[in-house]
């Protein structure tokens, strides 16, 4: 089947600290992998994506590499800001593009 396992939170970091949020997946076929972010009171916004093995997605200083050998898509940022405080969701999209499978989300709080 298809599923996503995501590092549990909450995560609290000081500003300018290094961030890693782990994400592993199981999937049939050839999924695409995504990170979405949800700010308080808002809908999900796409942060970055990768559509095939070894692709690296990047946006706003965040990056993640699609590792087929370890079935992982870990999110990293070298220096977090207070404005990065949000819930981060790892997700896979079936190759048919019909539906997302989301992880449970990781809440990040960045303190000044």
Note whether 53 binds another protein by CB under 8 A. no
Query: In 20-57, which positions are buried (b, 16+ CB within 10 angstroms) versus exposed (e)?
Result: ebbbbbebeeebbbbbbbbeeeeebeebbbbeeeeeeb
Residue 33: closest CA among 106, 89, 84:
89
Q: Which is nearer to another protein, 17 or 100 (CB)?
A: 100
Note whether 49 binds another protein by CB under 8 A. yes
Note whether 1 binds another protein by CB under 8 A. no
Find the binder of another protein among 1, 40, 97, 112 (CB under 8 A).
97
Site residues (vs another protein, CB under 8 A): 4, 6, 31-32, 34, 36, 41-46, 49, 51, 89, 91, 93-105
């Amino acid at each position: 089947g298809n599923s996503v396992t995501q590092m549990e939170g909450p995560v609290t970091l000081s500003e300018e600290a290094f961030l890693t949020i782990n994400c592993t997946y199981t999937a049939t076929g050839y999924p695409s992998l995504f990170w979405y972010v949800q700010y308080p009171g808002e809908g999900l916004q796409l942060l970055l994506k990768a559509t095939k093995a070894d692709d690296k997605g990047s946006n706003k200083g965040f990056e993640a590499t699609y590792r087929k050998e370890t079935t992982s898509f870990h999110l990293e940022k070298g220096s977090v800001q207070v404005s990065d405080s949000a819930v981060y969701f790892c997700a896979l999209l079936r190759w048919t593009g019909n539906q997302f499978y989301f992880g449970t989300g990781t809440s990040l709080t960045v303190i000044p």
